[in-house]
């Protein structure tokens, strides 16, 4: 059985046999949980919101990783710490897009390819923005 570790050591499959999420996917889910509220959340509150059977330690580790990357801010309240996003979802997405463009050998070609895949509504919003029709 490929991918299963009979010793129960973390691998590709969880105890239920379902495919495990990667760290990047978990980070995205935790960020989405934080973006969905205006308040800081403790690791336990994030764990409850995710409702996916994740261990508290796993959620806490993901929050620490996000903190180390500067993606969340930790608010210390006595011994209980809570976390909130350092930037909103749109700012974080724009930053990721800039980083992706900066990594490639031809950012203009990448941008052209990206724009050619926009939906009609996205294309209209981009045209309006470029024309100055935005708040």
Contact, 131 vs 121, CB < 8 A? Answer: no
* 23-85 to CATH, choices 3.40.120.10, 3.40.50.300, 1.10.10.10, 3.40.50.920: 1.10.10.10
pLDDT tens, position by position, for the chain (135 residues)?
444 333 343 443 444 444 567 668 999 999 999 999 999 999 999 999 998 788 999 999 999 999 999 999 999 875 568 999 999 999 999 998 999 999 999 999 999 999 999 999 999 999 999 998 776
Contact, 94 vs 73, CB < 8 A? Answer: no
Q: 79 is written with which tokens? A: 């011994």
pLDDT at residue number 4: 39
The torsion angles phi and psi of 35, rounded to 5 degrees, stand at: -65, -25
Distance CA 21, CA 99 (A): 23
Distance CA 51, CA 47 (A): 6
Distance of CA 38 to the CA centre of its chain: 17
Is the pTM higher than 0.85? The answer reads no
Show me where the domains of the chain are located: 23-85, 89-130
Q: Is 87 helix (H, G, I), strand (E, B) or coil?
A: coil
pLDDT at residue number 15: 43
What's the half-sphere exposure (Cβ side, CA atoms, 13 Å) at 104?
Answer: 15
pLDDT at residue number 23: 63
pLDDT at residue number 19: 58
């Amino acid at each position: 059985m490929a991918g299963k570790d009979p010793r129960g050591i973390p691998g590709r499959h969880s105890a239920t046999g379902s495919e495990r999420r990667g760290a990047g996917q978990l980070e995205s889910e935790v960020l989405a949980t934080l973006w969905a509220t205006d308040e800081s959340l403790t690791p336990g509150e994030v764990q409850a919101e995710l409702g996916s059977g994740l261990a508290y330690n796993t959620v806490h580790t993901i929050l620490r990783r996000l903190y180390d990357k500067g993606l969340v801010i930790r608010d210390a309240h006595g011994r209980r710490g809570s976390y909130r996003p350092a930037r909103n979802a749109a700012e974080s997405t724009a930053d990721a897009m800039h980083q992706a463009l900066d990594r490639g050998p031809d950012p203009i070609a990448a941008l052209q390819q990206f724009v050619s895949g926009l939906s009609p509504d996205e294309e209209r919003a981009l045209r309006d923005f470029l024309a100055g029709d935005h708040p």
